[in-house]
Amino acid sequence: MATKVLRSADDIDALARMIGARTTYPMTVTITQGDPRRSKQNRLAQRWFTDVSRQKEDETHEEIRAFCKLHFGVPILRAENEAFRQSYDRTMRPLDYETKLEAMKALDVPVTRLMTAKQMRAFMDEMQRYWGGRGFRLTDPEALKYEEEFAQ
């Protein structure tokens, strides 16, 4: 799967060349409004999954990640990504809760990797509200900046 972010009208020609260079058909082209999620957002979300799993002690990083994808990510994408909504509703929605949760974990159902930066912010805001509201301490994004700076 190829992704091309268009930041100006000048990028349209590059997209056309990329599509024209493909030799295998059929292909599906999907256009999504917004910037892709940022690697810093992804690193912080991964850290938060670890933060929660360490404090819960009875759930792993992957179990927390699956829970968050199902509870916070799926509703965001279902509301804002028609292709995701159709696919999810056809394949996952009919399943019972435990099976959905297991599928999120075992099949690594793409949720956050499909998000724009704005959607990822909403996902993380929901995580912070949910886990913080239950007394879990999540890594402060500012502290993470300093940690990354000293690791270099």
CA torsion angle 113 115 116 121 (round to 10): -100
Higher-confidence residue: 119 or 150?
A: 119
Please check the confidence at residue 3 and state whether its pLDDT lies above 70. Answer: no
Calculate what percentage of the chain has a pLDDT beyond 90.
57
Q: Mutual orientation of helices 97-106 and 61-68 as an angle, nearest 10°?
A: 120
Over the stretch 46-92, which tens digit does the pLDDT of each residue have? 999 999 999 999 999 999 999 999 999 999 999 999 989 999 999 99
Model pTM score: 0.74
Q: Which residues are paired to 36 by β-bridges?
A: 116
Contacts of 116 (CB under 8 A, 6+ apart): 32, 33, 34, 35, 36, 37
Tokens 């019972």, residue located: 96
Structure tokens at 111: 């949720």
Give the number of other CB atoms < 10 A from CB of residue 128: 14
